[in-house]
Structure 1
Amino acid sequence: MSFRWPEIKLSGRPKRQPEDSIELRAWVLAAVLVGEAAVLTSGYFGAVTGVLVPFLTIVAFVVSHHRRRERNILIKVMLAFGALAALAMFFREVLSSLYDTRVPLARLFLWVQVIHAFDLPARKDLSYSLISALILAAVGAVLTTSLWYGIFVLAFLMCAMGAMAQMNLSEARQRAGLQASRSRGLVLGTIVPSFFAVVAVGLVCFSLLPQRQAMNLTMMPTSAFRNVAENFTGGVQNPYYRPPGGDPFAGPPQAILPDSYHGFLPYMDLRSRGRLSDEVVMKVRSEETVPYRGVVFDDYNGKGWEISTGEDAQTLTTDSMRFDTFTATNTELELGPSREVAQVFRVEKDSSNIIFGAYRPETVFFPTSNIKIDPYGSLRAPYQIPEGSAYSVISHVPNASPEQLRSASTAYPEEMAERYTQLPPTGLERTSELAGRLTEGTTNPYDAVLRMNEYLKTTYPYDLSIPPQYEEMDAVEYFLFEQ
């Protein structure tokens, strides 16, 4: 007597009809590849990921088309394990970058898109992939720092419009009971005119909408961690200028190199003249437009500025790439009202060890275990910052109003007055006389500074072609009266 297992039939919705249109799949694949390229070209992913993700996506679309009528149980099981592996990789990466989860999330989404592409039998599955491509394009907009991203927007718009046109055409064929066939004239007759119409309307709307000058920053990105020993000096290191090996002002004016500003040094020669190149060296995202400070000079010697404290700086250490500068004991105290401003810096070219940030930096996210801070709140990295590095700074920017500045006390402590008002004993007679005339009638330092500032702006046009100063006289006197 033979035994047979009973057949169990589960009630449910009928199996979706497979999508046979190769043109539809090609348009969706193109949109997905554009979305992936928008993310992969942001600079946060390596070459292996940049090649593997689009290659596997193409393979996945080919496989899903050839097996669109199969149940693909084994493939689905393998895809489930692949999704778990991607999730595990995400958790491992996000634990090492708690202050910026954008890149781990983007990496997870890239691999989920690849995994999903292996099982796209029906039109609805392809529509999900098209939505995923839109999300990838949006992620690319978050990560990018280049206006070239606009090319990806236009390319995705073209591919998405082609995919949606093919979806409508495929649905119409299905209702009419027709087989999938090549749609002649659809690109030139419908997609291209619609593309230019949408672009034109979008440009008009964009020009009419008010544009913000800054952005809201919620993530604090940093590049890959670099472990460096603590015993480094707190001085400024610039790879483009060799240390002078003595008094930098003893000889002729310093030559200015076009690839690096001559003020990113322990001194600044005011006799120097020159023109910098137009090469982009750093890009900044900030919640508002503020000056980004790097070096503070406090000692004027008649030829330029120096840092009187030399390499004196306090070391800040951390295990999480987050540095809180309020733990430093030798810096200036915060006085008066302030507002919080977040900034993200991305280095486009090898630079000095200066960590930039608006005054006053309170929290620094930098990819190392120790940095240094000098008495004026200027920050130094333990190494010359290489191209591709990223770091973030949260500053408490002074927010005093003009009325508060006008009413501020001028009873300065003796040590502060001595530090900030010291001048060479001779050589500034004409400058002192001019300053007295300009500030005559003012009752507070704020109005005096405004009056001198206005005089300089209206009297001395900005000019990079003037020659260096070779005369032996005070640099300020030479600029004001002899240049």
Structure 2
Amino acid sequence: MARSLFRFLDPTDPLLALRLASAASLTVGMLALYSVNPNGWYLVGLALCLAGCWFSHREKGKSSRWVKVGLAVGMVYLLWRFLQELVLNLQDTRLPLAELLLWLQVLNAYDLPRRHNLRIAQMVGAILLVATATLSRDMGFGGFLLAYAVVGLWWGQQDMASELGVSAPIASKAARRHWRGALGAVVLLGMVLFLVVPRSEGGFIKQLPVSAMLSLPSHLDPRVRNPAYPVGKGSGDGKKVNPQAYYGFAEELDLNYRGRLSDSIALKVRSPRRQYWRGMAYDRYDGKTWRMFEPNYVSTMSIGSLPFELGGDRYGHDSGSTGIVTFFVEKDQTNLVLMPERARYLYFPSSILFRDLNGALRSPLPLESELYYTAVVDLAGYKTEWLKNARLLSLREEQVLKPYLEVPESLTPRTKELVRQVAGDAPDPYTALKRLEGYLRTNYRYNLDIPPFPEGVDTVDYFLFEQPGGEAYCEHFATSLTLMGRVLGIPTRLVTGYLPGNYNPFTGLYEVKTSDAHAWVEAFFPGVGWAAFDPTPGNSDPMALSQQETQLPWRELLGWLKGGLGVAIALGAVATLLGGLVWLLRRPKRQLELAPTQAYRRFVAIAVREGITVREGDTPGEVLSRLRQAPFWEAIASEAEAFVRAYEAARFGDGDGSTLEGQVEAIATRLRDHHKRSSTSIRV
């Protein structure tokens, strides 16, 4: 098959190898862009581009007026299309710019007469790969990066050979024995550096990532919409979980749901630190079900241009230090806008959002796969001393926060007594809540394989005193702490969202699975605000996470290395470092081995520059025999013959090659002197 393809190529084209390398570079770049945005027109563009490269090869530098006219018309059309796309993607112009570059290169492929045109084509392939890197969210990009590294080395080899006027095999003999090991070492060492070098948050970028604006219907529905869990179906003896969606994203949360959620990726988040991703909150509890006090009472946030201003910290605790958190939706979600805590601004692809009484944001439309948005957050969390020193609730605050203080009649006296025993003589509400949180974490177990609780019992009482083994879901732990806080007169609410997820050191993203859906507690502290607590065993402390302004990837990297793939890569990195040390120790010898071939390459380049034909596979003796026919032979005869003898001794015998560079320099000097004398005699 390869022979049949090469029948369409002209072997007399001196830039043939470089054209093939440039076409390979463009192929990798365009396929990489297709991998992050599967647009079938990209494949059409790739086919047209390869056809254009073949056309330029067959023309071999001939200039066609009709081709140039066609290119000019095509460029005008592409500009018009680009401006159209730009209007639709004002908040994120990366993809329109990459598409413009791709189609411009398709046109340019039909006019590649010289080496510098091929260099531009290779650069376009590199730029497309960089554009892909900014859009990619998975490990697949690594394959394209590795492919481009190989193609780039090949292209560089062909470009150098073409510039020197020699065939690629002659130009590459010196490195043929070493490039494979060097490439492997560079890739592994680069991987190690990539893992440990801190990521930039991108705060210097003024244009934050956000999808194209949603097309909104004429009638907007502000309700929480989760098609997987319709409202109004009684719990009975227990409800079965839909593994593809979380039952905690609805207007009601029944605590008798049982089952496991899938491990499919729901979100990917780029964040400067680990934190919980908040969805919504509940304030009213009847003994087995959580509801919202006013589920449809929302405020409408309407803007003419992004961002949405979320108000920051209403109590004046803004630190001035901000971070950027970008959410990438990998799987269709509800219309809840997942958010980090303490968000100041939101870049979301809609002109309208709804905010309920519990601070949850709702989109007019569900969040579909491939949508992404960005929040600017205040990085400084609440300090522990602020919470400990929080003042008492005022009468007005008690009235406003009344829904968060209500305790159902089903809550048993023994539950209230347990709360008072555990909290003891806590000096402040914060300390009391931390004691209760620690008690639940220590004395009970998280387990998803439990049966539904019996009918007619209070969920909190049954969990705390009757449940075998003290095993329960996160919703049961969060419900218990919420009610315990209310018994002590602390305003609390149950919150649902996602855990931080697993950090991927290659992409720099937190990969949040559907099974990372979680419930925790928020408590109100006068003069400070709402603070998060998580009583479920085995999870992070959200308060501790919020107090880390920034987080370098070391801790995340160590956690990732515990996995099998991480261990394998770590061992590979250690082996690479040891191999690099051995290479450094052997480096002088290796450089000495390469010196003869480097000198010979320069000798051949001088011969080609003087008009001598050097073919693939020519031996040093054959090159020397052609030099003997040259008019300047007498000027360099002794030096050239001495050089070839010394080179052959160093390359194939016991010679050390230490004099070769000096001999080549002597040949070049003799030729310069010869040409000066020749030009002087002509003038005379």
Range of TM-score over shorter length: 0.7 to 0.9
Q: Distance in 2 between matches of 1:380 and 1:162?
A: 52
Q: Which residue of the partner structure matches residue 259 of structure 1?
A: 244
Within a 5 Å distance, the mapping from 1:115-126 to structure 2 comes to 115-126=107-118
Q: 1:190 to 1:22 in 2, by over 3 A?
A: farther
Q: Is 1:421–2:405 an aligned residue pair?
A: yes
Within a 5 Å distance, the mapping from 1:190-269 to structure 2 comes to 192-207=180-195, 209-212=196-199, 216=203, 218-244=206-232, 248=234, 251-269=236-254
* Range with greater deviation from structure 2 (276-285 or 409-418): 409-418
8 Å CA contact 2:287–2:410 kept in 1: the answer is no
8 Å CA contact 1:313–1:374 kept in 2: the answer is yes
8 Å CA contact 1:372–1:380 kept in 2: the answer is yes
TM-score (norm 2): 0.60
Q: 1:284 to 1:180 in 2, by over 3 A?
A: closer
Q: Which residue of the partner structure matches residue 285 of structure 1?
A: 270
Q: Is 1:470–2:458 an aligned residue pair?
A: no
Q: Distance in 2 between matches of 1:367 and 1:205?
A: 35
Q: Determine helix, strand or coil for the equivalent of 1:344.
A: strand
Q: Distance in 2 between matches of 1:109 and 1:424?
A: 63
Q: Distance in 1 between matches of 2:173 and 2:449?
A: 59
The residue identity in structure 2 corresponding to 1:274 is G
Q: 1:205 to 1:364 in 2, by over 3 A?
A: closer
Q: Distance in 2 between matches of 1:214 and 1:276?
A: 31
Q: 1:180 to 1:358 in 2, by over 3 A?
A: closer
Q: Deviations over 1:22-66 (max 9, x none)?
A: 3322222112211222222213x6322x22221122112112212
8 Å CA contact 1:227–1:369 kept in 2: the answer is no
Q: Determine helix, strand or coil for the equivalent of 1:296.
A: strand
Q: 1:131 to 1:222 in 2, by over 3 A?
A: same
8 Å CA contact 1:258–1:276 kept in 2: the answer is yes
| Higher Cα Rg, which structure | 2
Structure 2: unaligned runs, 5 residues or longer? 1-11, 468-684
Within a 5 Å distance, the mapping from 1:110-149 to structure 2 comes to 110-149=102-141
Q: Which residue of the partner structure matches residue 15 of structure 1?
A: none
Q: Deviations over 1:319-346 (max 9, x none)?
A: 54654455xxxxx982231354433322
Q: Is 1:436–2:451 an aligned residue pair?
A: no
The residue identity in structure 1 corresponding to 2:151 is C
Q: Distance in 2 between matches of 1:46 and 1:145?
A: 17
Q: Determine helix, strand or coil for the equivalent of 1:58.
A: helix
Q: 1:179 to 1:137 in 2, by over 3 A?
A: closer
Q: 1:194 to 1:84 in 2, by over 3 A?
A: farther
Q: Aligned to 2:39, which of 30, 41, 46?
A: 46
Alpha-carbon distance, 1:262 to partner: 0.8
8 Å CA contact 1:292–1:357 kept in 2: the answer is yes
Q: Aligned to 1:304, which of 272, 283, 289?
A: 289
Aligned residues: 451
Q: Aligned to 1:33, which of 2, 27, 32?
A: 27
* Range with greater deviation from structure 2 (95-104 or 312-321): 312-321
8 Å CA contact 1:30–1:159 kept in 2: the answer is yes
Alpha-carbon distance, 1:185 to partner: 8.5
Q: Distance in 1 between matches of 2:460 and 2:316?
A: 32
Q: Distance in 1 between matches of 2:362 and 2:129?
A: 36
Q: Is 1:445–2:429 an aligned residue pair?
A: yes
Q: Distance in 2 between matches of 1:193 and 1:103?
A: 36
8 Å CA contact 2:346–2:376 kept in 1: the answer is yes
Q: Deviations over 1:128-148 (max 9, x none)?
A: 222222222111110111122
Q: 1:262 to 1:37 in 2, by over 3 A?
A: same
8 Å CA contact 2:334–2:366 kept in 1: the answer is yes
Q: Which residue of the partner structure matches residue 315 of structure 1?
A: 300
Percent identical residues = 30
Structure 1: unaligned runs, 5 residues or longer? 1-17, 327-331
Q: Distance in 1 between matches of 2:250 and 2:259?
A: 16
Q: Which residue of the partner structure matches residue 273 of structure 1?
A: 258
Q: Deviations over 1:47-94 (max 9, x none)?
A: 22x222211221121122122221344423432343333333333322
Alpha-carbon distance, 1:96 to partner: 3.0
Q: Distance in 2 between matches of 1:92 and 1:370?
A: 23
The residue identity in structure 1 corresponding to 2:125 is A
The residue identity in structure 2 corresponding to 1:427 is L
Q: 1:214 to 1:259 in 2, by over 3 A?
A: farther
Alpha-carbon distance, 1:291 to partner: 2.1
8 Å CA contact 1:60–1:118 kept in 2: the answer is yes
Q: Determine helix, strand or coil for the equivalent of 1:121.
A: coil
Q: 1:213 to 1:263 in 2, by over 3 A?
A: farther
Q: Distance in 2 between matches of 1:455 and 1:218?
A: 46
8 Å CA contact 1:38–1:149 kept in 2: the answer is yes
8 Å CA contact 1:297–1:306 kept in 2: the answer is yes
Q: Distance in 2 between matches of 1:168 and 1:231?
A: 64
Alpha-carbon distance, 1:396 to partner: 4.9
Within a 5 Å distance, the mapping from 1:263-412 to structure 2 comes to 263-320=248-305, 322-325=307-310, 334-338=314-318, 340-396=322-378, 399-412=381-394
Q: Distance in 2 between matches of 1:436 and 1:212?
A: 47
Q: 1:380 to 1:26 in 2, by over 3 A?
A: same
Q: Distance in 1 between matches of 2:170 and 2:65?
A: 31
Alpha-carbon distance, 1:307 to partner: 0.8
Q: Distance in 1 between matches of 2:366 and 2:237?
A: 27
The residue identity in structure 2 corresponding to 1:370 is I
Alpha-carbon distance, 1:450 to partner: 2.0
Q: Distance in 1 between matches of 2:437 and 2:316?
A: 23
Q: Is 1:161–2:153 an aligned residue pair?
A: yes
Q: Distance in 1 between matches of 2:316 and 2:387?
A: 10
Q: 1:212 to 1:282 in 2, by over 3 A?
A: same
Q: Distance in 1 between matches of 2:63 and 2:229?
A: 66
More helix, by proportion: 2
RMSD over aligned Cα atoms: 3.0
Q: Aligned to 2:16, which of 1, 15, 22?
A: 22
Q: Determine helix, strand or coil for the equivalent of 1:354.
A: coil
Q: Which residue of the partner structure matches residue 50 of structure 2?
A: 58
Q: 1:418 to 1:114 in 2, by over 3 A?
A: same
Q: Determine helix, strand or coil for the equivalent of 2:258.
A: coil
Q: Which residue of the partner structure matches residue 4 of structure 1?
A: none
The residue identity in structure 2 corresponding to 1:425 is E
Alpha-carbon distance, 1:378 to partner: 1.2
Q: Aligned to 2:96, which of 90, 104, 112?
A: 104
Q: Is 1:94–2:99 an aligned residue pair?
A: no
Q: Distance in 2 between matches of 1:421 and 1:213?
A: 43
Q: Determine helix, strand or coil for the equivalent of 2:403.
A: helix
Q: Determine helix, strand or coil for the equivalent of 2:149.
A: helix
TM-score (norm 1): 0.83
Q: 1:397 to 1:303 in 2, by over 3 A?
A: farther
* Range with greater deviation from structure 2 (191-200 or 209-218): 209-218
